[in-house]
A and B are shown apart, each in its own frame.
Chain A
C-alpha cells in the first residue's frame, strides 16, 4: 500500500504549482527601482594581446552610464579556485590569476573585455558596438598534448600550460606496473570524453544592489550555493565582510553543476552597483552561455586493464589529459582528480589502480563539474574497457563483470583508491536489470531487428559514485579550501507549524517537497504544516549548497539532526506538562504520550507551551522551540547501479535508435520515489545526450563551432525512450540518519557507457568486428564512418 505522506510517499512536488503556473520568481524576474543594465563585450578571438580599448565614443552615447574595463577593477582580486591539487613532485598546481575583466590578454572566445552599463539593455548593446577594441591575435593552443609540449602559453606568467601532473595512488605505481608485466591479458583503450555545455533552461543572471547609507551589498544570482558565492566573492574578490553582503539565489531553473561556481559577472554587478550607486543587472543570452558558463568533461584518456588467466582483474592503469580551459573555474582542479581517480575501482575488486592525470590550460572556455563530475569519466573508461576485454577474451560482458564484483559480504569495502564503500549489492542490481530488460528475450528481438535490416545490440554498464561530498576534514586533506558540511535551522512556530531554513539549495530537485516529507514523518504532522526556506544568506545558516547529489544525504541529515534536538526538547516540555519522566514520553503521529498511561498531549499543546511558557520549567530550560544543526558526514555515500541499453543501428546511415533503457539503482532509502525516478529520467536524458548527441567543438583557432542549438544537439523528447527505472535493490547508507545515498547524478554517470557498449555490440553482431570503439557522441556519421573501416 503506497503511503500518502511522509518518507516513501510519491508526494506531488509542491513547487511545481508555481513553476507550472508561471509564478516562479527567478533572478531575471527581479527588477529594482533605478536598475541599470550591463552588456559584456567578449573576446571574439581565442588568444590575443589587448592593445587598446577606447570607450569614449560609447560613453557619449544615449543612456550610457559607464563603460568598465579592467582598469576599473584594479585592487580587486581574481576569481578564486576552491580546490588545490598537488602534483606528483609535491608541488602545488599552477594557479594563474583569473581577473574579473581581461587584463592585457584575452584567453578564450567569450573572455569578457569590457562592460557597458546603460539605462536600457538596448542602449548598452548599441554602445557596445561603438567600443573600439584593438587586439593582436596570438596563436591559440587547443590540443592538450600540444599545449604541454611547447605550445603557446595561455598564461605567460606561470611559464607552463601544465596545471598539475597528479598521480594516484602514487605509492601503488610500481606494483601496478608489475601487475601489468605479469598479466595474462591486457586490454587497452584510448578514448575521449566529449566536452559538454550544461545548458540549464534558465541562463545565468546577476543583479547587484548597494545601499550607500549602510554599506550593504546584495547580489541576486542564479546559484546552486549562495553561501559559497558570498564567501568566495566577499573574502577573495571584493573584500566585503559577510555581514555586509547578502547573496540571494531565488528560484533557479536548473544548474547541473554550471551554477556552482563564482563567476566574474557576479563580482562585476556587485562592484558596479557600488561604484554607480545604482542596481546593475546582467542577463546572459543563450549565445553568451555557450561561451561563458563553465563546461563539462573534456578528458582524453588511455586506459589499460590487466587480467589473470582466470579473467580476474588484477590492475587498472589510466592516463588522462583533463582540459581546464583558459582559467581555473571554482572546483575545476578536483574534478579529474578526487572525483575521478577515487572511483576507478568501480564495482570491482581490482586490487591495484594507478591513474595519472595531467590538467592542461588551453584557449577554451573553462571546464568544471557537470552532472556527475569526474565520476562519469571514470565510469565511462572503466565500463568501456571491461566490455572491450570481454570481447577480446570471448566471454560474456555480463559474466566478466559478475565475476569481478565486490561481493555483498565484503562490505564495508576498502578500495585501493582510498575510499571505503559502506554498503552495496552489485549482483542484486545486475539481476534486477537483466530481469527488467528481459535480457532472456534479447536474441529474439535481435533476430526480429535483423529481419528488418537493422542491427540490434545490448550494452551493460555498472556505475558507482561517491556522493554527499564530505567529510570536511578529509576533503581538507585532499586540497579543498572549504568545508563540506551542511546546515539547517528548524523553527517550530507557536501554533505548531514548522519553518526549516536549509543551507541546501533547490533548483529542480524538489527539496521543498521531500524535506517537508521527512519532517512530517519524524514528528507526525502533515507536510503542509512544514515550509522549506532556502537560497538567501540573510535567513539561512551557513551552508555549502547543492551539487554532488548531496542535499538529502548531507543537508537532509542536518535537518534530521536539528529536528531530533527539537523532539528531545519537546519531550522535556511534554514530560513537564504531563508530570512524567522524560524517558517515558513517546512521540507518535503528532501526539506525546506517557508509556503505560492514557496521558496525551498534542504537538500543538507542546509548541504553544514553548512560546507561552506559563506552565514551563523555566529554571532548567529556555522557552522557544528552534534548533540549528550542522552535519558533517563521516564518509561519502556510494549510490550504485546497473544500466542496460538496447539499440538498433541502421547500417545504411549509421543512425542509432535507443529501443529501451533500463536502470536498476541502489540509492539506499528513498524519500519520494516519484521525484527519484524523475531525477533518474533527467540524468539518463543528459547521459544519452552526451553519448549520442552533445558535443562542444572548437576549431583549431579556438572558434566555437557548436555555439548555438543549431549545432549543439540537445536531446529532445523523441531522442530518448520510455525508461524502465527501479530502485528496489536498496542497501541503505550506514552512516547517515536517513540511510540515503543520493540520486541526482546517477543517470548521467551510468548511461553513456551503456549506450556506447550497445552500439559496439550491435556492430559486432552485424559483422563489423573491426570496430572496437567509437568516441561520443555516437552520431550517425561517426557510426557510419566506423563501419567503413
Chain B
C-alpha cells in the first residue's frame, strides 16, 4: 500500500469539501477499496472516510418507505430492517462474512456497483431512490453498467429510500469461491406491479427482467415464469458459469424468489 492522507469528517458538507481536492477518494466500509490499495492497484492521495457522519447512519421509517443511511453497515441493516422489510434484511445478512457485514456499507456497495453485488438488485427491484448530497436519483436511472453509476465525481450517496413492498424475496446462488452472487434475483411485489432485478448474471450489471415482471404482475406464482426464456447473449462467461448457465439460474431463482416471497 502506498502512503495516503486520511480525513474523517463529521458532516456531509465537510466530506464534500474534502472530496473536492485532487486525489481524494471517498472511503466507506473499505471492503473493496482497501484490498485494492493493498494490492497497489489503487493509490489515492487522500481517503475521506464517510463513516463518522451521523446523518449517514441508521435505519428508520420515513416518507416514501424505509430510509437507510448510506454509511450503515450490512449487519445493522440485517438487524434493523428486519421488522420493516424482511427480504432486504435477509439480503444484507447474506453478504460476505461477519467482517464484511460489520464494515461494508450500503452506500459503498451502491457506489461501487460490482456486477455481482447483492444490494443493487434490492435497490432496482424496489424502485428505491438514491439520495445524494445534491439530488435524488431513481433506481432505474442510477445503475449504468458494470462498476458504472449516475454519480458525478465527488458526489456522495447519503441515504437510500426503499418503498416497502407487499411481498418480496431475494434468492442468491453463490459463486463457489467468492460467494458473491453467481446470480441473484430480487423479486418485489407492489400494488402497482411486480419488479424483478437480477445481479451477478449480466455483463451490463444489475438489470430488470421485464418479461418476468409482466408475467408476475398478472399472476404472482412460480408457474408464471416457468414458460419464459431468458436471453443469454449478454450474460457473463467465467470460470464459474457459462452465459447459458446464468440464464438458467435467472429463471430458476426467479421462480424460487416468488415462492419464497413474504
Contact = CB atoms under 8 A, between A and B. Distances in A.
Contacts of B2: 126
A709 B35 CA distance: 13
Interface string A103-128: 00000000000000000001001100
Nearest to A652: B252
B17 interface: no
Contact of A779 (B1, B39, B176, B244): B176
B190 interface: no
Of B182, B238, B245, chain A has the most CB atoms within 10 Å of the CB of B245
Of B1, B182, B240, chain A has the most CB atoms within 10 Å of the CB of B240
A31 interface: no
B40 A125 contact: yes
A693 interface: yes
A697 interface: yes
A568 interface: no
Contact of A711 (B1, B173, B177, B244): B177
Nearest to B177: A713
Of B177, B238, B241, B245, chain A has the most CB atoms within 10 Å of the CB of B177
Contact of B245 (A129, A705, A781): A781
Interface in B1-37: 1-2
A712 B245 contact: no
Interface in B182-196: 182
A693 B40 CA distance: 29
Contacts of A693: 176-177
A539 interface: no
- A interface majority secondary structure: loop
A628 B176 CA distance: 50
A38 to B, nearest CB: 17
A717 to B, nearest CB: 12
Of A122, A655, A705, A784, chain B has the most CB atoms within 10 Å of the CB of A784
Given A653-B249, A653-B252, A784-B248, A709 B177 contact: yes
A395 to B, nearest CB: 34
Interface in A708-744: 709-714
B242 interface: yes
B17 to A, nearest CB: 30
A538 interface: no
A706 interface: yes
A785 B245 CA distance: 7
Nearest to A709: B177
B134 interface: no
Contact of B239 (A126, A697, A714): A697
A521 B2 CA distance: 57
A131 to B, nearest CB: 14
A712 B242 contact: no
Nearest to B249: A653
Contacts of B240: 711, 779, 781
A129 B43 CA distance: 13
Nearest to A287: B39
Interface in A760-789: 779-781, 784-785, 788
B205 to A, nearest CB: 18
Given A653-B252, A706-B239, A712 B177 contact: yes
Interface in A151-182: none
A781 B242 contact: yes
Contacts of B239: 695, 697, 705-706, 711
B241 A781 contact: yes
A397 B182 CA distance: 35
Contacts of A697: 239
A275 B215 CA distance: 74
B42 to A, nearest CB: 14
B89 to A, nearest CB: 21
Nearest to A654: B245
A450 B177 CA distance: 28
Contacts of B176: 692-693, 713, 779-780
Contact of A710 (B177, B242, B249, B252): B177
Contacts of B39: 287
Contacts, number: 51
Contacts of B244: 785, 788
A241 B186 CA distance: 67
Of A287, A655, A713, chain B has the most CB atoms within 10 Å of the CB of A713
Nearest to A788: B244
A780 B242 CA distance: 11
B189 to A, nearest CB: 22
Contacts of B178: 709-711
Contacts of A709: 177-178
B226 to A, nearest CB: 11
Nearest to B116: A710
A709 B2 CA distance: 23
B22 to A, nearest CB: 21
Contact of B242 (A126, A692, A711, A785): A785
A535 B88 CA distance: 53
B24 to A, nearest CB: 22
Given A125-B40, A711-B239, A784-B245, A653 B173 contact: yes
A779 B239 CA distance: 10
Contacts of B242: 781, 785
Nearest to A122: B1
Interface string B246-261: 0011001000000000
B96 to A, nearest CB: 12
B13 to A, nearest CB: 35
Contacts of B1: 122
B130 to A, nearest CB: 27
A625 B237 CA distance: 68
Contacts of A126: 2
A324 B56 CA distance: 55
A693 B174 CA distance: 12
A709 B239 CA distance: 13
Of B173, B176, B241, B252, chain A has the most CB atoms within 10 Å of the CB of B176
Nearest to A777: B176
A697 B249 CA distance: 23
A697 B239 CA distance: 8
A287 B173 CA distance: 26
Contacts of B40: 125, 129
A653 B238 CA distance: 17
Interface in B159-190: 173, 176-178, 182
A714 B176 CA distance: 8
Contacts of B182: 780
Contacts of A695: 239
A703 to B, nearest CB: 12
A10 B213 CA distance: 60
Contacts of B177: 693, 706, 709-714
A709 B96 CA distance: 13
Nearest to A651: B252
A779 B248 CA distance: 15
Nearest to A706: B239
A260 B40 CA distance: 31
Contacts of A713: 176-177
Contacts of A122: 1
A364 to B, nearest CB: 16
A130 to B, nearest CB: 13
Interface string A635-671: 0000000000000000011110000000000000000
13 contacts: A652-B248, A653-B249, A655-B173, A693-B176, A695-B239, A706-B177, A706-B239, A714-B177, A779-B176, A779-B240, A780-B241, A784-B248, A785-B244
Given A705-B239, A785-B245, 18 more contacts: A122-B1, A652-B252, A653-B173, A653-B248, A653-B249, A655-B173, A695-B239, A697-B239, A706-B239, A709-B178, A710-B178, A711-B177, A780-B176, A780-B241, A781-B241, A784-B245, A785-B244, A788-B244
Interface of B: 1-2, 39-40, 173, 176-178, 182, 238-242, 244-245, 248-249, 252
Top 9 A-B pairs, shortest CB-CB distance:
A713-B177, A713-B176, A781-B241, A781-B245, A710-B178, A652-B252, A711-B177, A693-B176, A784-B245
